[in-house]
Amino acid sequence: MRTFFTLLVLALIGGIIYLYMISQRYPWDFVYDFESNKFYSFDVVKEDLIDTLGDQSGKDARAYHEAISKKDEDLCANIKSKSLKKTCRVDITIQKAKDDGSEEICETLTGQDDKKRCNNERLHSIALRTSNKVICDQIVDNMDKHLRCIEDVDSNILNAILESDTADERVCDTLGDSFFRECITHIKKNKTAKNYTSTIDSIDKDDCTVSSDPKEKQKCQDNKLFEKAKKTSDVTTCTGIQDEEIKQKCIQQVSYTNDMVFFKSAKENKKLNICNKIVDTNMKVQCRDLVLLDMAQSAKNTAFCSSIQDETLKQECNSIR
């Protein structure tokens, strides 16, 4: 009997220690409700869910959400849980730093991890407000946060471009690959729609009125558009050509000329994004391979080599020391 009671007491003590350890392990991520014997994440605790929590857990959750929504640190005092009270104050400080942009606000926090998190959140917020990805590079010790910051800024820039009718393709060069493609596609569609009518109206048609034959007149106008497309290096001008053979010839010649310009620019600037503008598939692959090789040689880093498709260039790349 004595052994039974000893085991029972030890079990109770163990249970208390376990609950204490749990509360220390998840002080800021979860609310533990003793009545329902469940953990609830603060990320998903809504007003209707708060009502299902036990008395004290529910009060703490309400107090936390009220303090956060009002950004009032004094309201954190209504929270009974010490760890949650501390988290409440830290989260409000971080929110104020994000709104204000001041590093000094983060310095008021005592914990080094809290300071670091505060500064990372603050920098993310500034980068978004200013559409400046360079600021994301200041985010430390959190690669996921750093990459997410860059993607969020790219997304903001792209959304602004999609809403604009005057955006230039050069803006797309600042975006990451996935956003770059959507950006270029959108601008080209807009450009094609506008240029189709404007180019027809802008060509010198007087030279084509000599002939009374409608077919000859149309052919004359088509050739005028062809010449204009070559002069301006604008492949969208070719879309105004009525004769299919002349149109295709126009597109091929102007595209090739543009591709060579992009190829040269990509090589000189070591920018893969510029290679993506090249229409010809083989030339695009060759462009990317050579740029990757140049990047590997400049950085003396063979990590770039795996993306090279040409085997000869890949071997040359892997031999870099």
Q: What is the pLDDT of residues 261-295, one digit of tens each?
A: 888 888 888 888 888 888 888 888 889 899 888 88
pLDDT band, very low/low/confident/very high, at 24 (cuts 50, 70, 90):
very low
Q: Are 262 and 278 in contact (CB under 8 A)?
A: yes
Polymer length of the chain: 321
Burial (0-12, 13-18, 19+ Cβ within 10 Å), 292: buried
Among residues 133, 189, 142, the alpha carbon closest in space to that of 161 is found at 189
Whole-number average pLDDT of the chain: 76
What pTM does this model have?
0.45
CA atoms within 13 A on the CB side of 21: 6
DSSP code of residue 137: G
Q: What is the pLDDT of residues 201-247, one digit of tens each?
A: 555 555 676 556 788 888 888 888 888 888 887 888 888 888 888 88
How far apart CA 290 and CA 219 sit, in angstroms, is: 41
pLDDT score, position 191: 65
Cα–Cα separations (whole angstroms), residue 231 to 225, 245, 250, 277, 281: 10, 19, 11, 19, 24
Q: What is the pLDDT of residues 38-87, one digit of tens each?
A: 444 444 444 444 444 446 677 888 888 888 888 888 988 988 888 888 88
**Long-range contacts of the stretch 68-71 (C-beta < 8 A, 24+):** 68/92, 68/95, 71/95, 71/96, 71/99
